[in-house]
Amino acid sequence: MPTSKLRIATCQFSEGWNPRRNAAIIRRYIAHAKRLRADVVHFHECALSGYGGRIAERDYDWDGLREAAHSALLEARQRRIWVVLGSSHPLSPPHKPHNSLYLISPAGRIVDRYDKRFCTGADLDVYTPGDHFVTFRLKGMMCGLLICYDLRFPQVYRELLKRGVRVVFQSFHNGRMDGPGIHEHIMRQTVQAHAGMCSMWISAPNSSAYYSRWGSIFVTPDGRIAARLPRNRAGIMVNTADPSQEFYDAVGQFGGHWLRGALANGRPVRDPRSRSRSCL
């Protein structure tokens, strides 16, 4: 049972299509997170590269993206801090890139990369979906990576739970929207539901690019939003995943049933009054 606390810096800013500019902001946040004594700093989906359509354009600055990524690696090494960084990851032509999270060590090395497994229809016009989970230990706590639309598929959380994951770093991009919409009412709530059902901490940064439909959140294993950032405004917050804390567990003793995909608990009985469903 891990006993060390994990301090997580969750960041949001308005990324653009200039990776060098994005990297300059990211480096400042990495330095700030270190000053705040964070163990790991977590950025939103495609924070380094920019998200979506322009990635498919021939004039996208892939050389600039590689240079920007190297500068983030150097900053992580200088500050001796873990970084979870959203970016697009180019593949060999003619394949479309991945939408990815780089896991960067305090030595400034990419130790793993998660590629968004579930893509929206618009994503599939631009990106190639991934085919693997990424799990790792930080300060004794098993952690996992997910990206945005993965939220819609409960089986990915169940699989992470089977693998012992207690902390999920899930990056989102619900920015550059045309105004209010359904995401304001369902995204945070769905994160809370997954956290509560799986008894996990979830760091969920979202882009603050205007119009952002919700601000970044940090959710505890009981499904409560412990902290949040205001939407449409750059910011950073540091929260702690503390395994010594006790949280309300709604699933409780029946968690094994959920992991096995059971559709009921307890023991059914043979009773004619149970079988007859059209009488009082």
Q: Answer for the pair 224, 190: CB distance below 8 angstroms, yes or no.
A: no
261 band by pLDDT with thresholds 50, 70 and 90: confident
Cis peptide before 157 (omega within 30 of 0): no
Asked whether the predicted pLDDT for residue 276 surpasses 90, the reply is yes
57 band by pLDDT with thresholds 50, 70 and 90: confident
Tokens of 133: 């989970």
Q: Answer for the pair 242, 220: CB distance below 8 angstroms, yes or no.
A: no
Pairing of strands 201-204, 167-171: parallel
Residue type, 81: I
pLDDT, residue 54, reads 87
Asked whether the predicted pLDDT for residue 263 surpasses 90, the reply is no
HSE value, Cβ hemisphere, 13 Å, CA-based, for 90: 16
Cα–Cα dist 101/204, whole Å:
13
pLDDT, residue 149, reads 97
* Structural domains of the chain in order of their starting residue, each with its CATH number: 6-247 (3.60.110.10)
Asked whether the predicted pLDDT for residue 258 surpasses 80, the reply is no
3 band by pLDDT with thresholds 50, 70 and 90: low
Mean pLDDT of 123-152: 97
58 band by pLDDT with thresholds 50, 70 and 90: confident
Mean pLDDT of 254-280: 84
Least confident of 33-37, 70-74, 138-142, 253-257: 253-257
Q: Which helix (H) or strand (E) holds 186?
A: helix 183-198
- Paired with 82 in beta bridges are 40
Question: Nearest to residue 141, comparing CAs of 165, 115, 113, 111?
Answer: 165
Q: Which helix (H) or strand (E) holds 31?
A: helix 19-35
pLDDT, residue 215, reads 98
Angle of CA points 262, 268, 274, to nearest 5°: 125
pLDDT, residue 259, reads 76
Q: Answer for the pair 242, 48: CB distance below 8 angstroms, yes or no.
A: no
Q: Mean pLDDT of all residues in the chain? A: 95
The model's pTM: 0.95
Residues with Cβ < 8 Å from 225, sequence gap 6 or more? 188, 192, 217, 218, 219
256 band by pLDDT with thresholds 50, 70 and 90: confident
Asked whether the predicted pLDDT for residue 257 surpasses 70, the reply is no
